[in-house]
Structure 1
């Protein structure tokens, strides 16, 4: 008897779970045409082996089947799994990118802090309670004052939003500078707060009281700021990076 293929197993599991392709797409954020292709054992639309493995795991999780077994079968059929990428721990951040002289951001950072202090003072005097930040909520980017950037536009996205984040929390900003990269972010409760491709030129900012864990599909494309500190590139081109960040100085862990 011929053993069912990866796509057949996923398709049968989806039907057994009484889920449509659209419902699986909504759960996994994998596009409908890609799910159809995977169920037909056509992995060419996944964008490479790394993304194919991620799609298989995500779809398997949604239809309640063993994704690790299916990924192992995929690796057997496609030349084996890649060598495990070495995680980039926080305490090695200094080795990733040595400190170098950068433009003076003091003016923009002070302006952002003054605005935050003014808003807090207004809320206190008017009797309005300030709504607490949700765990791992996305922090909107702040815009530097025209006087701070008129002389020379910054080469990278402003870090003022990170610098003005509340103390006692971990604040993480990731920008895809040179290419697209797949990004997964989990908060301190283990909840996935972001899982998608981050397009070149795009950025995301996250905050949590205790901890943020990330997985990057292309470390060389991602520029990272943690708790107001510029850590530079997360890794090398094509490197899969796993990292955990906590409040305080990222160099101190």
Structure 2
């Protein structure tokens, strides 16, 4: 995936759902994975020519697992002229205590996500940010929609923009028009400094199960994931109606 195409997809998502306002300060949550680094690349480039002026910072949460590395991420942020803030936490220890004697691994995955987002949003608020950008891409959207049907019995997905009243910050998801395959291509083309996920449960979750299921469905029925995404965009699910009427 070329950089200009990434800019185009991200800009369309931002425009369709009014994600950025004049003089916003946006915090990008950096995990060290390909998705968040691609998002950082896209937003840092859009600063130069987007309709609304906005400021950009990066926030990285240290979960406390051994082997946490930041040098390559720091170098990339310096290259892109984006300030990086690292938040030290003991989330890994909290998860170890919580999971003692608990067999359902999804409990700790859910708690981890809640704690990570809490730490990210709190730091963003501390830094006077108005928006926090999450790196959910199109595949994440489709996976979440299917997970809600399989495991919860209803048709739902997180919206492109979510207002968090408890901290007066909006979460935006500018990668919703970009597929995971396209991000992988972008990572390889631009040699993004991806850091290995240190979580011991990486690759062993309900989401991973649904991801594999969807990949098989898409293999048997080419274009199925795109159609599922289109169905969500044209649905009445809260938050998915485009602001510009396109």
- If each structure's helix is expressed as a fraction of its own residues, which one has the higher value? 2
| The two structures share one fold, judged by TM-score above 0.5 | no
Relative contact order (alpha carbons < 8 A, sep ≥ 6): 1 or 2 greater? 2
Q: Which has the larger radius of gyration?
A: 1
Question: Could you tell me the TM-score, scaled by structure 2's length?
Answer: 0.28
